Structure 1
Amino acid sequence: MVLLTLSSLTVALLTAMLAIGMAGGTALAAIPSNDVAYAAAPAPAKAAADDTKPPTRPTNLIPCPVPLAPLTEYGYASICWKASSDDTGVVAYDLYRLSADGFVHASSTGGTVGGFTGVLNRPYTIYVVARDAAGNVSPPSALITVTATLGMTPTSSPSPEPGDHTPPSQPTGLRDACLQDYRGVTFCWQPSTDNVGVTAYDVYRETSTAYTKVGTVSASGILNFAESADVVVGQHYNYFVVARDEAGNVSLPSATLTALAREGFPTPTPTCTVSYRAATWSSQLNAEINVRNIGTTAIDGWTLTVDYPASSVNLTSGWSADWTQNGARLSGKNKQWNKVINPGSTTQIGFTASYGGTQPAPLTFALNGRTCAVA
């Protein structure tokens, strides 16, 4: 009987050829279709029947060069990461990409290199989870944003598609506990900018296996998020915010905020509602505020306070109230002619202020020290 074996020289040559192909961009195989990741899968692990322990979180995500060069108008977003560990063995990694509808499954792979096709030169925000044979899923990796490229081999870029492809700017200034009297989690942030206009902000919370959209805040309202039903008082939760425009372009995620679910203060039912809108020009804002008495008795004498983020506005002038400023708080005291606000009645006041950077949004309104609901 003759046994066929590979000499050590042959093995070395094959290893060198593989390394050269990966480093030099030689097409070793075609790019898989349907966004299937291109890393080879290891031998599947056999899961124990009673395995309930998830793999560890994938870490060390970095952009990874596209090993192949598809000669098409599409790009390819590619990342690498450090392998997770598991008591029975990881069988797959799932990649999720951020879209206007939330995170969607992009591809799966058995190795620690993966990616998916996308629009050329568009940035994509991605996270990875590990999965074992019993179906246990790891905590999600940190987020990473990479740009879809054509691969290692230079090719000419196709003409850009018509339409709005510019995403809003990254939301900034996330601040915990903007509503101190709220039971649960509450936080606020500063507006993003866009070449056409931001339409909404999506809020994501980290869960045990994913980043889940937990709310959407209109760009025309107060940029504050609150939730109580799915959080436990005394525990911390990780959130980030993504801005979205009418064309479906999404911004880079904000920095992650770790927020505490608080007990809140026992507060009386609001006796006022406030509607706020502001017109801006050349680093100036003109704010119009409608204050409505929703109580059952007349308000005889009042002061409305408007709290902005620290040092974000400087009062210039005001009308229908005597306006003053103390730090980031603007206060408007009634005139003699609008001193009384009867039940069901509304009075309109306003002011002009200067600001720097992006247009600031007020955090809270209070009438005579009691927080007003925002209409």
Structure 2
Amino acid sequence: MPRTLLRAASAVLLTLTVLNVPAARADEVAPVAVTVNARAALATVPETGIGTNHAIWDSRLGTDETADLLKEAGMKLLRYPGGSYSDIYHWADHTAPGGYVAPNTGFDTFMRGVRRTGAQPMVTANYGTGTAEEAAAWVRHANITKGYGVKYWEIGNENYGNGRYGSAWEADNHADKSPAEYARHVVAYSDAMKAVDPTIKIGAVLTTPANWPDGIIADGDSGTWNEVVLAAAGSKIDFVILHWYPGAFDRTAHIPDMIQLTRQQVAKYAGPGSERIGIAMTEFNTGSSSNGTTTQPGALAAADAYSTLLAQGVFTVDWWNVHNGIGNVTQVEGHTDYGDFGLLSSGACTSDGSVCEPSANTPFAPYYALQMVSRFARPGDRFIRAATDQAKVSAHAARRPNGDLAVLLINTSSDTSYPVTIGYSGFSPASGAPTVLTHTNGATSIASSATGSAISQALPPLSLTTIVLRPASAQVGLPGTPGQPTASDVTDRAATISWPAASAGARPIVKYEIHRQNGAVSEQIGETAGTSFTANNLRPGTRHTVNVIARDSGGGVSSPSSPLTFTTGTPASSSCSVRLTKQSDWGSGYVGAIDITNHGAPINGWTLNFNWPRTWQRLDSGWSAVWTQNEQDVKVVNDSGNGSLPTGASTTIGFVGNYSGPNVLPATFTLNGSVCTTR
């Protein structure tokens, strides 16, 4: 995304003000309870997890100082040539007609910096004004001529912004601006580029769930952008590309549904073998230049979002960007915020010269946030569940291959120092003071100390704290980790879970335990001596996440398997059935139609009940019935004209639903108390 667009990116923001009150002492407030569950495993930290964007208009792109700072921050992936410039950039002659190209920012210079940083590159091929042949020649130069081994190649950048849905910021010389045309070219690009180097990975642009223009179907299209692109090009791609500028600092709760909905779209539309397709968040930034990006609140939100995205299995999250430029200057939490989307200062001044950023390459607060995440969750570590009982404090945890455990605690309160008590499940920490890494409001480095204990810490206001713990006893002779579980024969109340056997340790394996995640708490739902288990008494229409653990004859337990997530359905047959369809969608709301069919005895008067899966969903209006909502519960009572439903009869009712986050549709409906089949 270009700088001018970034400065206008989001309209709804969390306003931050300086609070002129002293910070509450930790001994004056109730302790925050933190739960860490080593039995509830999430994704493994990928090699490419923490990344950022370079741009060809940045004159410092190729300097050693920049590369060394990015290395110190733990950057593992660098993207090039820079947002929307990708669709006007011609690599061979290093030109971008209509845009500015800084000296010494060519591809070979970029690759020199990548190697000095110790990162992997991601390259965006020019879709808007380029050709498949041009992209294939770039692959040849990079991987055959130069031997750079560039693995990840995107086809275009935000190409849905070509005017197809009304707004146009992305260059696109194709007469046809449809997702079908983009998909046709993705196939051509993939074929041409992989003919040069079949080992590369090709990525296609998707819209991000609940972010414009997700959900919108343009005139003449057979479906949304994502549906059309995945259906036509799914067999030719290896990953999909999301961009997210939430415009507020409190949107981390959206991430699990955002990623799950993306996976569901890939599975539904991309065809056989779609499980191979990864998800990359190749542009991310927390806020907007009008309300602050370079100070501590934005840094805390960055650490929270990066940790959550990576825990959900995204293989890279790439900050926009390294150097961006001064924006709207404000005062945030006692410090000057320069409205700059960069990790590092550009050393720029406002147009009137009244305010200047610190000297070039001075790190902003989000730089330290990403540095903290890189020290908290290293490649090969496994995220595990963690949670708190205080909205102002969030928690993340990761288990290391050597048995150590790291806990990241984020205190977003402006004025309260919170004491925390930490409880562990499936992990016994060693006694003594752990290693503690801390970054506080306005600090210019991460401090390290040995303080507090494994179960008790104090969190300063507006701070990031990582606690690194060793286990109480050596982890030797334990069973290996069970393989990736799969689900089959999923019904409304049951599912068969199977997994590859774990390798035995010092003692034979006697059983496997199946644990279901309930937030940061695990519930054992069964055990077996074999490698398959049928879970019963499940709740219909519900997403379930489970892990499998091996236990040996001496009571030793393995690390938990990778997570398996599956969703139960509704009864195969019932006295009623319901079909919910979206008639139209505009990205923050939709018109829904519900068809109700009675398969039982004649009904004279009916009540339909369902609930919104998320707090950010609500009923706007409804018709052909009497609609009421109480918190997330929706009750629909027949009106005078459709209360009678003989056996086999149907009626249709409609509503407008609004949403401000990923729109997970209701899955379970009851009619007069009976669970219906959802069709």
Same fold (TM over 0.5): no
TM normalised by structure 1 equals: 0.41
Q: Which structure dedicates a bigger proportion of its chain to helix?
A: 2
TM normalised by structure 2 equals: 0.24
Look at both structures and tell me which one has the larger radius of gyration over its CA atoms.
Answer: 1
Q: Which structure dedicates a bigger proportion of its chain to strand?
A: 1
